């Protein structure tokens, strides 16, 4: 049976902000009783108060914690945050598990790779039901680190490779799977550094690169919306060989390899196919691509395919124009019959 405190928490969750009068109307209690329960929820850490007196407003408490990076235990950090989330806005077990997976992976990345002094973690609760966790460090920046370690020219080049998975600066301690699977385990994922953001929206199965105001360090935003969170086991199964249980499949968003919705050059194709030999099956997602050139398709579907027949390329999301160019490039790979 729900208590008055539970009903007030749900009221604040639904409305975003509440006042004493809202509690009086919803619970049919006196103003004094409503005030007493609201204050208890503030003291207990479920609500925070904005303003004073009769104009005071209440909303679900925003959580923010700051840690020294050296020696930080990501599991202990997350256990404290998870307890706050469970008290303020309880999540379904599967949703909580997916969020825990992504958050601990991102905390571990900040500890092992950022080289910074501090890590800040915050949690906020949106009116649409979204729970948003933000992990930020003051280190070198994820895209700068990847570019330095692998010789990529720019943050977008780094993102094209990070999206594929199996990219790590420390292969003795990391498999390169953490960032890949974290980006797919929640509703929306946003990784920002060097004025660049990599955005993954699993609700619509889209990935994009956008400007960002984050110029120092790294910020990761993890968002879960009940009813729109991928099943964690299904995410792993989609990219894992069922026999060997190895990470052998990946998905590449084609539009990330170019500067617009049209990809024509062989250099764009080479950026796309780089490191695809690490996988046995690659889904090439052409969603959002209006047109592709002969050179681009030839490089991917004839040159690369001929050189690496053990890598299966599966194009998807193509419009008619793109599908025609892909078929044309693949037809060129078929050797003509010898004349008799």
For 255-301, what is each residue's pLDDT tens digit? 998 767 899 999 999 999 999 999 999 999 999 999 999 999 999 99
Q: pLDDT digit string (tens) for 118-171?
A: 999 999 998 878 999 999 999 999 999 999 999 999 999 999 999 999 987 666
Task: Report yes or no on whether pTM surpasses 0.75.
Answer: yes
What's the mean per-residue pLDDT of the chain? 92
Tell how far CA 294 is from the center of its chain: 33
* pLDDT score of 250: 97
* pLDDT score of 340: 47
Q: At what angle do helices 31-43 and 4-15 cross, to 10 degrees?
A: 80
Q: Which one, of 44, 46, 51, 43, lies nearest residue 20 by Cα?
A: 51
Q: What span, in angstroms and rounded, lies between the C-alpha atoms of 20 and 57? A: 8
* pLDDT score of 267: 92
Q: At what angle do helices 20-27 and 31-43 cross, to 10 degrees?
A: 110
């Amino acid at each position: 049976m729900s208590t008055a405190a539970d009903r007030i928490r749900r009221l604040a969750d639904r409305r975003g902000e509440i006042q004493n009068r809202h509690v009086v109307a919803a619970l049919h209690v006196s103003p004094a009783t409503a005030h007493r329960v609201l204050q208890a929820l503030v003291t207990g850490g479920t609500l925070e108060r904005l303003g004073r007196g009769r104009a005071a407003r209440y909303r679900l408490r925003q959580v923010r914690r700051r840690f020294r990076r050296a020696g930080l235990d990501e599991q202990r950090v997350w256990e404290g945050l998870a307890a706050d989330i469970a008290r303020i806005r309880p999540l379904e077990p599967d949703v909580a598990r997916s969020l825990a997976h992504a958050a601990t992976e991102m905390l571990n990345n900040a500890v092992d790779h950022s080289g910074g002094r501090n890590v800040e973690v915050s949690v906020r609760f949106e009116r649409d039901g979204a729970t948003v966790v933000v992990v930020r460090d003051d280190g070198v920046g994820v895209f700068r680190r990847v570019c330095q370690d692998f010789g990529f020219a720019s943050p977008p080049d780094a993102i094209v490779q990070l999206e594929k998975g199996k990219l790590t600066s420390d292969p003795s301690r990391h498999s390169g799977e953490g960032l890949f699977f974290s980006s797919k385990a929640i509703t929306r994922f946003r990784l920002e550094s060097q004025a660049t953001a990599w955005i993954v929206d699993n609700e619509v199965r889209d990935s994009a690169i956008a400007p960002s105001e984050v110029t120092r360090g790294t910020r990761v935003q993890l968002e879960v919306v009940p009813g729109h969170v991928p099943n964690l086991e299904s995410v792993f199964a989609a990219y894992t060989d069922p026999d060997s249980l190895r990470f052998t499949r990946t998905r590449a968003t084609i539009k990330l390899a170019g500067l617009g919705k049209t990809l024509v050059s062989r250099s764009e194709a080479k950026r796309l196919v780089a490191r695809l030999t690490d996988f046995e099956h690659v889904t090439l997602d052409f969603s959002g691509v209006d047109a592709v050139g002969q050179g681009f398709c030839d490089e991917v579907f004839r040159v690369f395919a001929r050189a690496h027949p053990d890598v299966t390329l599966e194009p998807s999301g193509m419009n008619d124009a793109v599908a025609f160019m892909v078929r044309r490039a693949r037809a060129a790979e078929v050797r003509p019959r010898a004349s008799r």
